[in-house]
């Protein structure tokens, strides 16, 4: 999980957005520290976390920003989006409303972020299949229409979290190279 002594070729800022309680902080915790907490208050006040990884023989420092409780509509400021080259738009597969709010988040993102930002739609809590309220197909179709990457993840079971970040970071890497 990152070696402080290594030289950094790139720093990519990626922002996490989406409704409260969809699992943004736990996705970040899983990616940056390989940790998960069922009672997550641990990341409050932390602006971002980093993890350095290697993509095509270059070291890439991913600087991942978490909203830390500013999830109400329009509460996320433009400073949050500034300089972001990637975004993870997260909903909870067990809460239909969090998916229905995605167009609103996308609108916010498109209003404040760089127009070339790489975006992935993430349906989190895939471990709760028995409580599913958002069919995979609905999200897939939406993502396709909007030109977004799409994956379902479980921060709890560590399913697809690495894959989601790698998808975004590799795409950004390919754009700048
Ligand atoms: P945030 O408000 O979007 O940052 O959401 P949190 O990361 O704080 O997570 C909200 C709640 O959902 C917490 O109780 C987490 O433990 C739980 N949670 C987060 N990710 C998952 C997941 O993948 N599966 C399950 N079952 N619970 C999760
Ligand atoms: Mg949070």
Look-up: residue for tokens 């009672």?
39
- 83 Cα: distance to centroid of ligand 2 (angstroms): 21
Tokens of residue 62, six digits: 């991913």
Contact 38 CB / ligand 1 (< 6 Å): yes
CB of 40 sitting under 6 A from ligand 1: yes
**In a structure prediction context, what are the per-residue pLDDT tens digits for the chain, which is 177 residues long?**
555 567 999 999 999 999 999 999 999 999 999 988 877 665 555 579 999 999 999 999 999 999 876 776 666 778 899 999 999 999 999 999 999 999 999 999 999 999 999 999 999 999 999 999 999 999 999 999 999 999 999 999 999 999 999 999 999 999 999
CB atoms inside a 10 Å sphere around CB 29: 22
Tokens of 105: 């988040």
At residue 37, the pLDDT reads 82
Q: Which ligand is nearest to the CA of 28?
A: 1
- 39 Cβ neighbours under 8 A, 6+ residues apart: none
Distance between the two ends of the chain, CA-based, in angstroms? 24
8 CA to middle of ligand 1, Å? Answer: 31
pLDDT at position 66 is 92
Beta strands 48-55; 58-65: pairing state = antiparallel
**Phi (first) and psi of residue 112, to 5 degrees:** -105, -25
Whether residue 94 has its Cβ less than 6 Å from ligand 1: no
Q: Quote the CA–CA distance of 65 and 49 in Å, as a whole number.
A: 7
pTM equals: 0.93
CA distance 171 to 177: 10
State how far the Cα of 130 lies from the Cα of 125, in Å rounded to an integer.
Answer: 11
Is there an atom of ligand 1 within 6 Å of 131 CB? no
CB neighbour class for 168 (10 Å; exposed up to 12, middle 13-18, buried from 19): buried
- The two three-digit tokens of residue 59, written as one number: 């070291």
For the Cβ of 17 lying below 6 angstroms from any atom of ligand 1, the answer is no
Give the CA dihedral 34, 37, 41, 42, nearest 10 degrees: -40
> Which of 75, 16, 73 lies closest to 47 in space, CA to CA?
16
């Amino acid at each position: 999980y990152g070696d402080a002594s290594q030289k950094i070729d790139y720093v990519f800022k990626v922002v996490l957005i989406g409704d409260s309680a969809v699992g943004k902080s736990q996705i970040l915790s899983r990616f940056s520290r390989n940790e998960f907490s069922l009672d997550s208050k641990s990341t409050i006040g932390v602006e971002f976390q980093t993890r350095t990884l290697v993509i095509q023989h270059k070291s890439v420092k991913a600087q991942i920003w978490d909203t830390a409780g500013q999830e109400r509509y329009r509460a996320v400021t433009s400073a949050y989006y500034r300089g972001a080259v990637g975004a993870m738009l997260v909903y909870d597969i067990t809460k239909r409303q969090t998916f229905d709010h995605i167009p609103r988040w996308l609108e916010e993102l498109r209003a404040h972020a760089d127009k070339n930002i790489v975006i992935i739609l993430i349906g989190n809590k895939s471990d709760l299949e028995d409580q599913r309220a958002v069919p995979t197909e609905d999200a897939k179709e939406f993502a396709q229409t909007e030109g977004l990457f799409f994956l379902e993840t479980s921060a709890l079971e560590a399913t697809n979290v690495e894959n989601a970040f790698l998808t975004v970071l590799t795409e950004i890497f390919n754009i700048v190279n």
